[in-house]
Amino acid sequence: MPQVLSTVTLERKSGIPRDAVQMDFAWATSAALDTGVLDAITTKLRNFFTVLNTGQSAILSSYLGASVSIAGHSIKHYDITGHLNGSAHGAPLQTDPMTFAVSGVGTDSLPTEVAVCLSFHSDYGTDVEFGPATRPRSRDRGRIFFGPLKTGIIVPDAVTKRPQVALALQTDLTQAALMLMAGPDPTWSVWSRKKAALASVTSAWVDDAFDVQRRRGEDPVFRITV
């Protein structure tokens, strides 16, 4: 069964390559790995960001911060068949463009490293959460850090005033994940390098706490000293 890694790259208005944000999605297919399969994956990923699924109040690209470009984004597909242990998989088989009708609108942005985590897992089977010096179920889970984000997705808790992810974004992100999980083939999957295997995603969730991706942080432009 062929396996594919699709890397979504979101370009920033700075135009600096290292400022771009990447998100990885793994797929398994029962069909021959050809343009038709890769085009189907591209359609699913474009829909993830730009199509309103049942239960969503807004498309995901509308939550992205003002520093994100409208156009210039890309989806690169790699053949990882035979490289599920994480070994080098070579150049992309196909690169497709992606454009947002809504993105980077307004002037508000959170720091680039602030993200909301979309977590997902495959069927746990007989795997336990904790084993001798290991966590077998962690091999059945994956994460995508969605961002950069607007400031408007921060909502304070009514009692503790703890900053939380807005319920609307939690809901819209999980509903968009349902589009990736829906058939037909190819199948969105969890990629475990430890198991050297892919397994179909069966569930996804979004917590109300923010996450930080330090690698996405921007370099300072200037400093003030005393």
Tokens found for residue 110 = 């959170």
User: Which phi-psi region, left, alpha or beta, contains residue 35 (left: φ > 0; alpha: ψ -120 to 50)?
Assistant: alpha
Secondary structure letter of residue 101 according to DSSP: S
| pLDDT tens for the chain, residues 1 to 226 | 899 999 999 999 888 888 999 999 999 999 999 999 999 999 999 999 999 988 999 999 999 999 999 999 999 999 999 999 999 999 999 999 999 986 555 578 899 999 999 999 999 886 767 777 677 788 999 999 999 999 989 999 999 999 999 999 999 999 999 999 997 899 999 999 999 999 999 999 999 999 999 888 888 888 999 9
Give backbone dihedrals phi and psi of 90, rounded to 5 degrees, phi first. 85, -170
pLDDT of residue 102: 67
In the chain, count of helices (H) and strands (E)?
A: 2, 11
pLDDT of residue 9: 97
How far apart, in whole angstroms, are the C-alpha atoms of residue 1 and residue 187? 11
pLDDT of residue 104: 53
pLDDT of residue 3: 96
pLDDT of residue 192: 95
Q: Are 133 and 98 in contact (CB under 8 A)?
A: no
Roughly what angle, to the nearest 10 degrees, separates helices 35-50 and 167-181?
160
Cβ neighbours of residue 189 closer than 8 Å, sequence gap 6 or more: 3, 26, 27, 28, 122, 198, 199, 200, 201
Where do runs of H (alpha helix) occur along 167-206?
167-181
Closest CA to 43 of 159, 173, 186, 152: 186
- pLDDT tens digits, residue range 136-164? 788 999 999 999 999 989 999 999 999 99
pLDDT of residue 103: 58
Write out the E strands in the chain: 3-10, 21-28, 73-79, 94-98, 114-122, 141-146, 154-156, 163-165, 187-192, 197-206, 211-212
